[in-house]
Amino acid sequence: MSYETECDHCNTKLVVIGRQMGVPGGLEMEEGDCPLCGNVVARIMTDGFISVKLTEKQHQLLQTIFNASRWGHSSPPDVVDTACSLIAAGFVKQSGNDLHIPAEVQQALARIHQPLKV
Ligand SMILES: [Zn+2]
């Protein structure tokens, strides 16, 4: 089971993934946190566990910004536009048209197995 959601704290687009363990009578309330800000974004009764990742699109956006900043390039205006909620939340730092991803965000992505590729 998986579905898309949006963190109501930082507006990051997320996907909640649930895995059933198939244990009879093992239902428990599991919580899933936003990987970037730690806000609880899902509460599900399950006998397994849930994980929360960034949507493919959101992750690609961060990768695009990361690539540009590594090469010292400015991000195009449409990328800056698309990233506005991430910039507002402080997960993408902006100076003019130059965007970069802070180390703590890169670490958060690595923790959920969505590292930015160098
Ligand atoms: Zn969040």
What's the gap in Å between 43 CA and the centre of ligand 1? Answer: 15
What's the gap in Å between 37 CA and the centre of ligand 1? Answer: 4
Give the whole-angstrom CA distance, residue 12 versus residue 9.
8
What's the gap in Å between 24 CA and the centre of ligand 1? Answer: 33
What's the gap in Å between 47 CA and the centre of ligand 1? Answer: 25
Tens digits of per-residue pLDDT, 36-80?
A: 999 999 999 999 999 999 999 999 999 999 999 999 999 999 999
Range in 13-17, 96-100, 112-116 with the lowest mean pLDDT: 96-100
Task: Name which of 55, 48, 53 is nearest 21 in CA terms.
Answer: 48
Six-digit token pair at 83?
A: 């990233």
Six-digit token pair at 9?
A: 């704290």
What's the gap in Å between 54 CA and the centre of ligand 1? Answer: 10
pTM: 0.90
Rg (CA), the chain: 16
pLDDT reported for residue 96 = 79
DSSP string over 37-98:
T--EEEEEEESSEEEEEE-HHHHHHHHHHHHHHHTTPPPPHHHHHHTHHHHHHTSSEEETTE
